[in-house]
């Protein structure tokens, strides 16, 4: 087989993820080539993520490169990938999840402030709503860019603190002090690297499937089905996390209003093997418990 062309965004974190995929493929004897591609999401740093009007804003350009056969596979953070894939593209392999949680990083000047008094920089509706659930008087400002850009903006006085996926900080081996946030619930499929490819490329897909981590796939498919059924995409405060414990899958899901005042949370333990529709079934319970009206209200406000 010829060298596998791996497409990726060109941020340091995205390149780390592509290198991880390349290394795993090389260990199986495959030659690889990494091809960085600048995404539209990276080019428009002045717009809040949720105002750009597109789900898949960070995956679209890689999708186009795949369809144009400029690359053989694309590597993404799974939480950036829409639950509805473009025609002809499929998810092939999920790497083992490492760090799923959100963490807080403070500026030096805010080291001793109470959590409730922090001005938070985030463009995530989920993070804002879940923070407001705990601290209803919190003040926010938008922030965009890669990890290093956001850290720089924080130290330049944009806000007291910001939130990151712990995975981003750990993967880049940044020696940065952070705080765990037990009250936050991760975005569906946070902390997972995924490989996408063209459905027609049977040989390449078969090779890439050899690096798939089945337990991670089981968990994130439940999380993504939960998200898709709630019609969240990138436009609603939705959290979901599933993990395999003692032969069962433990799942927590949450939907909140934009101001954090109204939240519906579900917690389920599901015996293995699960049905393929379990994430959908759990989300339907949320919709029946007031989630449908809550989603309608959120959409009216956006």
The answer to whether 119 and 160 are in contact (CB under 8 A) is yes
33: helix, strand or coil: strand
Distance separating alpha carbons of residues 136 and 119, to the nearest angstrom: 12
Q: Which helix (H) or strand (E) holds 7?
A: strand 4-8
User: Among residues 42, 63, 80, 225, which one is catalytic?
Assistant: 80
Determine how β-strand 238-245 pairs with β-strand 248-256: antiparallel
The answer to whether 30 and 4 are in contact (CB under 8 A) is yes
Query: Does the active-site annotation cover 80?
Result: yes
Contacts of 209 (CB under 8 A, 6+ apart): 92, 93
How many helices (H) does the chain have, and how many strands (E)?
Answer: 10, 13
168-172-173-174 Cα dihedral, nearest 10 degrees: -80
Bridge partner list, 198: 89
Catalytically active residues are: 80
């Amino acid at each position: 087989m010829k060298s596998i062309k791996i497409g990726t965004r060109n941020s340091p974190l995205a390149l780390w993820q592509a290198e991880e995929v390349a290394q795993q493929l090389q260990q199986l004897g495959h030659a690889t080539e990494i091809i960085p591609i600048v995404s539209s999401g990276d080019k428009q740093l002045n717009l809040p993520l949720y105002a750009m009007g597109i789900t898949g804003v960070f995956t679209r350009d890689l999708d186009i490169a795949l369809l144009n056969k400029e690359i053989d596979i694309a590597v993404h953070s799974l939480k950036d990938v829409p639950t509805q894939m473009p025609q002809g593209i499929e998810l092939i392999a999920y790497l083992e999840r490492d760090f799923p949680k959100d963490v807080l990083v403070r500026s030096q000047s805010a080291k001793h402030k109470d959590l409730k008094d922090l001005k938070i920089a985030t463009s995530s509706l989920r993070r804002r709503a879940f923070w407001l659930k705990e601290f209803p008087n919190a003040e926010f400002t938008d922030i965009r860019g890669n990890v290093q850009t956001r850290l720089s903006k924080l130290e330049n006085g944009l806000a007291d603190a910001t939130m990151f996926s712990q995975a981003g900080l750990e993967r880049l081996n940044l020696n940065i002090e952070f705080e765990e946030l037990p009250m936050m619930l991760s975005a569906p499929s946070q902390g997972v690297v995924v490989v996408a490819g063209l459905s027609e490329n049977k040989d390449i897909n078969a090779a890439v499937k050899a690096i798939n981590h089945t337990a991670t796939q089981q968990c994130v498919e439940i999380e993504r089905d939960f998200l898709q059924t709630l019609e969240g995409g990138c436009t609603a405060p939705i959290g979901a996390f599933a993990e395999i414990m003692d032969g069962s899958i433990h799942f927590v899901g949450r939907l909140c209003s934009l101001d954090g005042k109204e939240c519906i949370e579900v917690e389920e333990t599901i015996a293995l093997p699960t049905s393929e529709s379990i994430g959908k079934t759990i989300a339907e319970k949320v919709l029946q418990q007031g989630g449908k009206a809550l989603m309608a209200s959120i959409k009216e406000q956006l």
